[in-house]
A and B are shown apart, each in its own frame.
Chain A
Amino acid sequence: MATETLPVSAPGVTVTFDPEDGVAVVTLALPGKVNKINPAFGAALAAGLDAAFGAKGLKGVILASGHKDFCVGADIDVVYASRDPKEILAVVGQLNAGYRRIETSGKPVVAALTGSALGGGYELALACHHRIALDSPKVLVGLPEVNLGLIPGAGGTQRLPYLLGLQEAVQHIAQAQPVRAPKAVKAGLIDALAPDRDALFAAARAWIAANPSPKQPWDTRTPLPGGVQPGTEAARTLAVGAAAFLFSKTAGCYPAAEAALRCVFEGTRLSFERGLEIESRAFAKLATSDQAKDMIRTLWFGKNAADKQEGLPQTADARFTKVAILGAGMMGGGLAFLATKAGLEVVVRDIREEALQAARARVEEQAGKLRHLSAQERAELVGRVTFTLDLEPLRGADLVIEAVVENLKVKHQVIREVEPLLAEGAVFASNTSAIPITRLAEAAVNKDRFIGLHFFSPVEKMPLLEVIQPGFTSEDTLARCLSFGRAIGKTCVVVNDGYGFFTTRLFAAYLLEGCQLVAEGHDPVLVEWAARSLGMVMSPLKVFDEVTLTLGMHAFTTREAVLGEKLDLAGLELVRAVVAAGRTGKAAGAGFYDYEHPRRIWPGLKDLVKAETPAETGVAHLQRRLMLAQLAELGRVLDDGVLRKAIDADVGAILGLGFAPNTGGPLSWADRQGLPQLVAEMDTMAARYGARYAPSATYRKMAAEGARFHEGP
């Protein structure tokens, strides 16, 4: 008897049945390119299961995808739009009932993960009795919901502990990092790997034959791995330790991670179905919260649009084969690695041999981390990079990224030196963090192929590329550079030219305000905590130390030189005094902080502060100061027309600067405050603490019009 196709009552799913072995294959392929969980998905799944479970002689079911990925999770639009907990509870209630039906059917159901299973998609796989994935690093599984201010809402917090143990489950959900299939099988997230599709289905059929009536461990109350069982004293101790550890990392800014922890420990103590209620309530609360809306807008919709480069000129072929990188510092070495990893030929040039050696070591070190490549592939990758003191090897390059010292004269000289050597149609890019591209291009002949590509350090890790396109830069040049940015895995935000563009201005305002507050007599410990408890990834004095104070001061000096405008702030004076005390930052082992264990604010700092502790101080006050100082500067950036879209500010600030991700970015935060309120507060602060707080014309106008930066819930 041949395999038959069973009739199904909804679109987006096909069911085949092999009467020989009694296995039905339910293949989900919702309209479009991906399976994402929404009402249509629910209907397709139900219809597919109806057909499969109705088959005469059924022995088991393989749940598969007709798309590249298995299932990428919930349709975020549904969650984003709702402010009604009852509505959310109804959605997850239905989903849970559907998933429950799979695992309590009495027949074995195997998830065939031929592609990624994320969020609700992985939760679907958890509701199957067995999970087999393709042995490929491209197949990702896991629960990334916490990144969007959510938790798994379809049983993930209740089922995963039975696979990983309590502690590992909390860690996985709180860290929200999907895992590649080869690693996932080791971690216990999936049960087995198969080399190809046929082998995967064969393994699934074999498992069904061997396990005719499986039950889920949560239904048989099988002890959890890891030894610690729900409801025991050991579990309580573990929960407290996990909660404390979480708080030490998040400073209380991420209710979703906290909720995940609570759901895991509390829900698993109860009967499984009632444990789902614990999770559902927490999910509904989070899904309808401001934080989830703001994080979803920026980190899902905003970032996805930026990754797709929506509304930007595109080209399929960047027409870059040979990349020249000028300046072999940390940045140069990192860029060389990213470019060779993308398959490009790379030449790194510096005038100092030590710098070249350091860059080579960096490329080798980074290549060594690519464990999925063979040793030969890694060697080839390193071999594509040439390190040179000479100019000649640069000849014929079609993309140059200069990352030399931040000095207009030096940069002009480099541009004049290198541009004539380049291939026909080559693009010259500057990685300056602040100097206007227009000023740099004064030395260039081909201004239409001159552009700013501002990377962030450490460049292998930081996801943002700020692309600066002055009026003279052609759309084709932009399109080619965006294509390059995508090829090296960066999220691109395109801005107009101006001193410090967007990110550097916001960053400088942040650092400076941290110093200024200390100089005004506020306790530096409170200033740092104020930043951390806002959700800023790095507190201002700590990050200033990491940047190194001298580099930071150099940037402020450059700013004065370029703009011809003097910054006269006690905070700057304080930085000069710290440097004068021989403390230049973390690299030197001494800056605002002492770096002997345990790291703490340098006790001598208070002796450099002339001011008494102000009457108005404390964490709440300092939080407002740190935020409003940044927002005020951002307002001037908006007035200057540097930004093209509001969402660019939010995506760029979070991905490039570590601006509090929990806020959804500075303009999302501004919307939540209400612009009229924000403008009034800035006016008050400007009168009290200085003109840097003054609200910009953009803010005033929008406040008067009742406008917001982002529409939406």
Chain B
Amino acid sequence: MPAQAPDVWVYDSVRTPRGRGKDNGSLYTTRPVRLLSGALDGLKARTGLAADAVDDLVIGCVTQVSDQGACIARTAALLSGFGQHLPGVTLNRFCGSGLEAINHAAAMVGSGLHDLVLAGGVESMSRVPMGSDGGALFDSDLVLEVGIVPQGISADLLATLRGITREDADRFAAESQRRAAAAMAAGAFSRSILPVIDQNGLVVLATDELPRPETTAEKLAKLNPSFAMMGEQFGLDALTRKVYPQVERVNHIHHAGNSSGIVDGAAVALIGHREAGERHGLKPRARIRAVATVGDEPVLMLAGPMPATERALKKAGMSIGDIDLFEVNEAFAAVPLAFMQHFGLDDSRVNVNGGAIALGHPLGATGAMLLGTALDALEDRGLSTALITLCIGGGMGVATIIERV
């Protein structure tokens, strides 16, 4: 164990393409454990790591039942080339799980307790439906005592409080599609994406399949808001008044076209300290400058990226202007829009390759995917620093600042 807290390096990052998270999606026939073991194998091949070189595998996964129950991290390790040598732990910080896994690994390495840790996430939303794991988060106790509402209502509440309009959201969504299409055409994701292959070695899916490049704001304007009926007729809007009594009416602006898409996918990154990397002949791509998690107001739920970002910047001794690129998860259009509004950012540095509205949000994997997306984008543009942040159910936020080396 080094005498001083070591620097934490990101050596590599890979992901599967994102498949539509429905029974017509390409990855529906691939079990999530295979999505993850495939990513592990891909990373092992790229780095040339020995099976016993890695101390641990930390995997974010939200809906840990059925195909994703029973510690999918260890299960996937056993099916991968790392085999019995790679232990595994699965964590759940809702939508922040993938980035949380990276941050956990960073903490393990940064403490000097571990040398090399694999971290990432997996979610097959087509096979394990969101919310099918039960739990006490969204039940009558929380609803009555805390005022927890479904995320869509929270997103519409965020928009209402920040004065974000339906037009703003639709415009943002169309731009996400445009950017994703442009990025795919330019091969911006090709360094990270490893195709999913079947037992015959044939490709199941090689590129993200959700984007609809033909999307325009005008077309989106025709969609009905998804949460209006739930909010207005079933009384869910009224719950928000416990905390936001000033909101007479929630403005329901979100719909399927300006919210994140439901997809399947997995991602893994290799985190380690310099000495360990040198020992294994690895070339670092970036350094983790700071991480932060915050607990925030749970009814609004989705405003966590702002305080998480502020906390991470403070820890890194940086200001918002020191960050070259931002990846703010597009759970709902209002989230990045509120983020830009809050920090006074224009969209030229935010989600430059599109986001989850176009590409999809495989819950537990997204944070790890965004790390890779940010790293690729920095390298493509010759820039230095990026901040990745996600809003999280239950009113949390997570952020990670990376710097190329």
Contacts and interface: CB of A to CB of B under 8 A. Distances in A.
Contact of A262 (B138, B141, B234, B236): B141
A619 B138 contact: no
B140 A600 contact: no
Which bucket holds chain A's interface residue count?
Answer: 20 to 34
B143 interface: yes
A247 B143 contact: yes
A526 B246 contact: yes
B239 A600 contact: no
A258 B144 contact: yes
Contacts of B140: 239-240, 242-243, 258, 261-262, 265
Interface in B221-266: 232, 234-239, 241-242, 245-249
A252 B246 contact: no
Contacts of A248: 235-239
Given A252-B242, A598-B232, A240 B138 contact: yes
A525 B246 CA distance: 6
B139 A236 contact: yes
A211 interface: no
B24 interface: no
Contact of B248 (A241, A246, A600): A600
B245 A533 contact: yes
Contacts of B132: 233
Contacts of B242: 247, 252
Interface in B110-137: 131-132, 134
Contacts of A249: 235
Indicate the member of B132, B138, B239 with the most A CB atoms within 10 Å: B239
Contacts of A236: 134, 138-139
B248 A240 contact: no
A281 to B, nearest CB: 14
Contacts of A526: 245-246
Nearest to A619: B245
B64 to A, nearest CB: 16
A244 B245 contact: no
A703 B238 CA distance: 39
A261 B140 CA distance: 8
A472 interface: no
Interface string A302-320: 0000000000000000000
Contact of A598 (B139, B143, B149, B249): B249
Nearest to B129: A233
A168 interface: no
Interface in A519-577: 523, 525-526, 528-530, 533
Contacts of A251: 238, 241
Contacts of A689: none
A247 B248 contact: no
A601 B246 CA distance: 12
A28 B138 CA distance: 46
A240 B245 CA distance: 20
A236 to B, nearest CB: 6
Contacts of A523: 246
A634 B144 CA distance: 33
Interface residues of B, number: 24
A525 B247 CA distance: 8
Interface in A216-273: 233, 236, 239-249, 251-252, 258, 261-262, 265
Chain A CB within 10 Å, residue with most, of B131, B139, B140: B140
Nearest to B245: A529
B156 to A, nearest CB: 14
Nearest to A236: B139
B144 A247 contact: yes
A619 B140 CA distance: 24
A601 B139 contact: no
Nearest to A525: B248
A251 B245 CA distance: 11
A244 B235 contact: yes
Contacts of A525: 245-248
Contacts of A252: 144, 242
Contacts of B235: 241, 244-249
A601 B245 CA distance: 14
A241 B234 contact: yes
A233 B134 contact: yes
Nearest to B244: A529
Contacts of B131: 233
Contacts of A261: 140, 144
Interface in A418-452: none
* Most interface-central of B232, B234, B241, B246 (chain A CB within 10 A): B241
Contacts of A598: 232, 249
Contacts of B238: 244, 247-248, 251
A240 B139 contact: yes
A124 B371 CA distance: 63
B139 A529 contact: no
A411 B246 CA distance: 45
A243 B245 contact: no
Interface string B370-396: 000000000000000000000000000
Contacts of A528: 248
Contacts of B236: 244, 248
Nearest to B145: A258
Interface string A571-612: 000000000000000000000000000101100000000000
A635 to B, nearest CB: 28
A614 to B, nearest CB: 15
Contacts of B139: 236, 239-240
Interface in A284-326: none
A533 B245 CA distance: 10
Interface in B295-317: none
B246 A240 contact: no
Contacts of B141: 262
Contact of A240 (B143, B237, B241, B247): B143
A600 B249 contact: yes
A261 B235 CA distance: 15
A242 B138 CA distance: 12
7 nearest CB pairs, A to B: A248-B235, A248-B238, A243-B140, A245-B235, A529-B245, A243-B143, A244-B235
28 contacts: A233-B131, A233-B134, A236-B139, A239-B139, A240-B140, A241-B235, A244-B143, A244-B149, A244-B234, A246-B144, A246-B235, A247-B143, A247-B238, A247-B242, A248-B235, A248-B238, A248-B239, A251-B238, A251-B241, A252-B144, A261-B140, A262-B144, A525-B246, A525-B247, A526-B246, A529-B245, A529-B246, A601-B248
Interface of B: 131-132, 134, 138-141, 143-144, 149, 232, 234-239, 241-242, 245-249
Given A244-B236, A525-B247, 13 more contacts: A233-B132, A236-B138, A239-B140, A240-B139, A240-B143, A243-B140, A244-B235, A245-B234, A248-B238, A249-B235, A262-B141, A526-B246, A598-B232
Interface of A: 233, 236, 239-249, 251-252, 258, 261-262, 265, 523, 525-526, 528-530, 533, 598, 600-601, 619
